Amino acid sequence: MDFLLTPSAPSEAPASLASTGDPVFNRAWTLLGVPCVTLPFGKGPHGLPLALQLVGPHEADMPLLAWSEWAEKRLR
């Protein structure tokens, strides 16, 4: 089974809790109704979190979660 690895946002997390950030990289997955998992992997230039996301095909939630666990261990 194949999964897609993409950025989850165009930059690091927002500095305040007033917003969750720019959803531009998530819109397609929401419209398609496919599962995706966001994985933190470091800090941006302002010290705020960066993240990647794994996207799976329809009805592949459990395999996606398994691969996300594998990927999360390697991103630490």
Report pTM: 0.83
Q: What integer pLDDT is reported at residue 53 of this predicted model?
A: 94
Digit-by-digit pLDDT tens for the chain (76 residues) are 799 999 999 999 888 888 878 889 889 999 999 999 999 989 999 999 999 999 999 999 999 999 999 999 998 8
Q: What integer pLDDT is reported at residue 14 of this predicted model?
A: 87
Domain ranges of the chain: 4-12+22-75
Contact criterion met (CB below 8 Å) for 67 and 35: no
Inter-CA distances, 19 with 13, 25, 28, Å: 9, 15, 20
Q: Quick one: tokens of 27?
A: 């819109």
